[in-house]
Structure 1
Amino acid sequence: MHIVTTIAGSDSGGGAGIQADLKTFQELGVFGTSVITALTAQNTMGVSGVFPIDHSFVEKQFQALIEDFSIAAIKTGMLYSSDIIKAIAHMIHNQNIPLIVDPVMIAKGGESLLLQEAIEAMRSSLLPLATIVTPNIPEAEALTGRKIHDVSDIREVAQGFFQLGVHCVILKGGHLADPNFAIDYVFFQNGKSFSMQTPRIQTSNTHGTGCTFSAAITAFLGQGFAMDKAIIEAKKFIQLAILHDLSIGHGYGPTNHFAYQLHKDSCEVLIYET
Structure 2
Amino acid sequence: METPPETPQAPPRPAPPLVLTVAGSDSGGGAGIQADLKTMLALGTHGMSVVAAVTAQNSLGVQGYWELPVEAVRAQYRSVVDDIGVQAVKTGMLASAALVGTVAELLADTAAPVVVDPVGVSKHGDSLLASDALDSVRTELLPTATVVTPNLDEVAQLTGVHVEDEDGMRDAAAAVLGYGPRWALIKGGHLRGAPDESADLLTDGHQEHWLRAPRHDNRHTHGTGCTLASALAAQLAKGQSVPEAARAAKEYTTGAIAAGFPLGAGLGPVDHGWRLGYAHGAVRGEEG
Q: TM-score range by the shorter chain?
A: over 0.9
Identity of aligned residues (%): 39
The one-character-per-residue Cα deviations of 1:87-125 (angstroms, maximum 9, x if unpaired) are: 001111121211100011111111101111111100000
**1:53 and 2:57 correspond:** no
Q: Which residue in the other structure is 2:195 paired with?
A: 179
Aligned residue type for 2:251:
K
Q: CA deviation at 1:66?
A: 1.4
Q: Give the TM-score normalised by the residue count of structure 2.
A: 0.88
Q: CA deviation at 1:260?
A: 3.0
Contiguous gaps of at least 5 residues in structure 2: 1-14, 279-288
1:161-172 mapped onto 2 (5 Å cutoff): 161-172=176-187
**1:220 and 2:235 correspond:** yes
Alpha-carbon contact 1:3-1:71 (below 8 Å) kept: yes
Q: Find 2:82's aligned residue among 67, 71, 78.
A: 67
Determine the C-alpha separation between the residues in 1 that align with 2:36 and 2:154: 20
Alpha-carbon contact 1:73-1:222 (below 8 Å) kept: yes
Q: Which residue in the other structure is 1:207 paired with?
A: 222
Contiguous gaps of at least 5 residues in structure 1: 264-274
Determine the C-alpha separation between the residues in 2 that align with 1:35 and 1:202: 34
The one-character-per-residue Cα deviations of 1:153-192 (angstroms, maximum 9, x if unpaired) are: 2212211222211111111111101111111111124x11
Q: CA deviation at 1:16?
A: 0.2
Determine the C-alpha separation between the residues in 2 that align with 1:240 and 1:260: 8
Q: CA deviation at 1:141?
A: 1.4
Number of paired residues? 262
Q: Which residue in the other structure is 2:285 paired with?
A: none
Range that drifts further, 152-161 or 162-171: 152-161
Determine the C-alpha separation between the residues in 1 that align with 2:85 and 2:240: 17
The one-character-per-residue Cα deviations of 1:189-219 (angstroms, maximum 9, x if unpaired) are: 4x11021111111121000000001000011
Aligned residue type for 2:83:
D
Q: Find 1:10's aligned residue among 25, 35, 53.
A: 25
Aligned residue type for 1:27:
A
Q: Which residue in the other structure is 1:272 paired with?
A: none
Q: Which residue in the other structure is 2:3 paired with?
A: none
Determine the C-alpha separation between the residues in 1 that align with 2:181 and 2:91: 14
**1:231 and 2:284 correspond:** no
Alpha-carbon contact 1:106-1:114 (below 8 Å) kept: yes
Alpha-carbon contact 2:163-2:191 (below 8 Å) kept: no
Alpha-carbon contact 1:216-1:237 (below 8 Å) kept: yes
Aligned residue type for 2:110:
Q
Aligned residue type for 1:234:
A
Q: CA deviation at 1:262?
A: 3.8
Secondary structure at the aligned position of 2:103 is classed as helix
Determine the C-alpha separation between the residues in 1 that align with 2:272 and 2:171: 33
The one-character-per-residue Cα deviations of 1:234-262 (angstroms, maximum 9, x if unpaired) are: 11111110111222222110000111334
Q: CA deviation at 1:14?
A: 0.2
Q: Which residue in the other structure is 1:100 paired with?
A: 115
Determine the C-alpha separation between the residues in 2 that align with 1:153 and 1:96: 33
Alpha-carbon contact 1:185-1:194 (below 8 Å) kept: yes
Alpha-carbon contact 2:186-2:201 (below 8 Å) kept: yes
Secondary structure at the aligned position of 2:276 is classed as helix
Determine the C-alpha separation between the residues in 2 that align with 1:41 and 1:164: 32
Q: Which residue in the other structure is 2:164 paired with?
A: 149
Alpha-carbon contact 1:236-1:260 (below 8 Å) kept: no
Aligned residue type for 1:174:
G
Q: Which residue in the other structure is 2:99 paired with?
A: 84
